[in-house]
Amino acid sequence: MKYKLKKINVIIVCFLMFTYLELVFRLFTSNNIFGINLLYSSLYNLFLAIIISFIVGWSNNKTNKILFFILIGFMCFIYALQLCVFKMFGFYFDLSLIGATDQVLTFYSEGIKVIIQNIFGVILFFLPFILLLVFNKYFAIRKINWKFNLIKLVAAIVVFLLFILSLNINKNESYSAYELYYHVSNNELNIKKLGVLNSFRLDLQRNIFGFEEKINIIDPGDYFDDDTIDDDDDEEPVIVYEYNNLDIDFDTLIASESNSTIKQMHEYFKNESGTLQNEYTKYFEGKNLILFMAESFNEIAVREDITPTLYKLVNSGFKFNNFYTPTISSTIGGEFQELTGLVAASGFLSPWKSGENYYPFGLATAFQNLGYNTYAYHDHTYTFQSRHKYLAALGFDNYLGCRNGLEDRINCNQWPESDVEMIDTTFDDYINSEEPFMVYYVTVSGHGDYGFNYSAMARKHKDDVANLNYSEKPLAYLAAQIELNDALELLIEKLDAAGKLEDTVIALVGDHNPYYLSLDEVNEISTYEKDEVVERNRSNFILWNSEMDTVEVDKVGSQIDVLPTIYNLFGVQYDSRLIIGKDILSTEPGLAIFGNSSWVSDKGTYYARTGEFVAKKGVDVSDDYIKYMNRVVSNKITMSRYIMQNDYYRKVLGG
């Protein structure tokens, strides 16, 4: 039987498909399904539907169909990709993450698991494409007269102009659709407010042609009073502290700079005051430092019953009660934030991985300038995510990992490898150093996916968690973190036996939250109910020396504050204006910044997805404070990106 092909209206079909895809995506990712944001995405999707109709109307039926199927299949793929990346990592895909393909390829099995776990959503996203293929023989997309195509082009322009005009609705709100479209780079909020397809187009456009974010030079004095030191005893002199700044002539730099972006950066940093030195400046001067970046370490792993060493270190030394490890771009993002004091803003990945930027405040370089011997170790492949390149740029010239020497000392053929073995076999490298030593360890034992069949470290400690009443994945996570606990216990024992414990500082921060656990699984072992965006990322910063009294710090801090805090404690000369993170022990107000521009300050929490601010108990803030803080956060994110993309430290400090 021969069917008569019926010509379809491509505009209507595409618009209905895109509307369906957007609604399903919002349903699966808990974004608001209806509201003004749906208007923005609908207008753009109508524009896109007209453009596709224009593209596929110039040739014969067969060619038009092939092109049509390719375009629709790609659109469905974008939605499915965003869903799977979001479910796996808690953030959305953007083109700057293409530089992390080695991580994707290395852990492809976890990606397959995520696809399987979300197969219903993936099928729903590809359903329009599948239906088109099934009913392919019943419809035609014939060549259209050039006059009708011209009308389509005019219609597309009109609809796009309507979209542009709609952006003026609520344009003065923080992170409004207008601001995101013209002035701010924030992929998650773009997806939420402008839609998946529009955000992908913006991402592509900005990666090809570049994008200059708006920088607002703001005066903190308009919102905050200067911090003062209380003087209860008239006989005690008031201590006047200096700023942790270098002598930089920003006026000359501004006058001689022709590049508008760099000039704005000079003006921004000139306007920054920096952070004051304080009673803890040089508190650890001359002591050894052993700094860890701990894989998937989180406060839920700190338990007196199964991780007693972690529990002791967290609850003594400097005890940070409001510390966060914002998960941005997975492990490499967390390490970047810890080692640079910058936010892992979009665009950081490529210059970071290249190792070609200049880092005058690089961790190893800074301590070598103080006369230290420096060492770095990682108990997994040493080239993973180009770690060998960016550690070299920070001054580490003897970095050791699996496949460049460490495999001769530990078992690099199990997954994940053992943190205990790494500590045990590298300790002798530095313990007899005639000069003070600074050691940087990147651990791996706590890596997901979590299951006793999957993780060698979870199996190793399975009996240690046998009496806990949790489901398998949370149990396996805790078991894997016991390996980190035991590695720290071994390190302390070895330092004590060598007579170096009292002269050594141990510091540790996690790279990201354990995103291989669902929020429900995290809350199984959490002492309180966590949310997906902020509290899931609450963690601990260990900063400990056996001889010090416990110092409680209630101020908010995050990974980007680790480097300047350590530098102040050890007396490293640096410019606190040029590092976006701040010394947590200084008078600077506390702030933690998250990937979607949510933030936590000492006054409360702002959720960028909803625009809601939740003040801390007993705290009252004005709308001006919230607007001000949103500008502060936006500027810090933008400056972090610009510093990396423009190799800014080289322009300011030479090299």
**CA 24 to CA 33: how far, in whole Å?**
9
**CA 6 to CA 141: how far, in whole Å?**
9
Q: Which two tokens stand for residue 196?
A: 């998946």
Same domain membership, residue 315 and residue 194: no
Burial code of 61-82, b = ≥16 C-beta within 10 A, e = fewer? eeebbebbbebbbebbebbbbb
Residue 611 within any structural domain of the chain: no
**CA 554 to CA 545: how far, in whole Å?**
19
Residue 16 within any structural domain of the chain: yes
Same domain membership, residue 428 and residue 327: yes
Number of compact structural domains in the chain: 2
**CA 550 to CA 200: how far, in whole Å?**
49
Last residue of a domain, one of 209, 238, 267: 209
Residue 404: φ, ψ to 5°: -135, 30
- Strand partners for 378: 401, 442
Q: What is the pLDDT of residues 453-496, one digit of tens each?
A: 999 999 999 999 999 999 999 999 999 999 999 999 999 999 99
Same domain membership, residue 523 and residue 396: yes
Same domain membership, residue 302 and residue 167: no
Tell me the residue range of the domain where 143 lies: 6-209
Mean local confidence (pLDDT), 184-191: 89
Last residue of a domain, one of 535, 567, 589: 589
Mean local confidence (pLDDT), 574-596: 96
Place of tokens 């970046």: 293
- Strand partners for 344: none
Same domain membership, residue 316 and residue 181: no
**C-beta separation of 606 from 630 below 8 A:** yes
Residue 260 within any structural domain of the chain: no
Q: What is the pLDDT of residues 39-74, one digit of tens each?
A: 999 999 999 999 999 898 888 888 888 999 999 999
Residue 533 within any structural domain of the chain: yes
Same domain membership, residue 301 and residue 189: no
**Would the pLDDT of 497 be above 60?**
yes
Same domain membership, residue 195 and residue 316: no
Residue 407: φ, ψ to 5°: -65, -15
Give the pLDDT confidence score for residue 521 in this predicted structure.
Answer: 96
**CA 525 to CA 542: how far, in whole Å?**
21
Residue 481 within any structural domain of the chain: yes
Residue 97 within any structural domain of the chain: yes
Same domain membership, residue 300 and residue 195: no
**C-beta separation of 647 from 357 below 8 A:** yes
Same domain membership, residue 305 and residue 182: no
Q: What is the CATH number of the domain that holds 455?
A: 3.40.720.10
Q: Which two tokens stand for residue 514?
A: 């354990």
Last residue of a domain, one of 154, 176, 209: 209
Residue 222 within any structural domain of the chain: no
Same domain membership, residue 161 and residue 46: yes
Mean local confidence (pLDDT), 104-109: 58
Q: What is the pLDDT of residues 21-40, one digit of tens each?
A: 999 999 998 766 778 889 99
Same domain membership, residue 295 and residue 176: no
Residue 597 within any structural domain of the chain: no
Q: Which helix (H) or strand (E) is 54 found in, with range?
A: helix 36-55
Pairing between strand 551-558 and 318-324? Answer: parallel
Q: How far is CA 515 from the centre of its chain?
A: 12
Closest Cα to residue 327, out of 296, 291, 363?
296
Same domain membership, residue 200 and residue 335: no
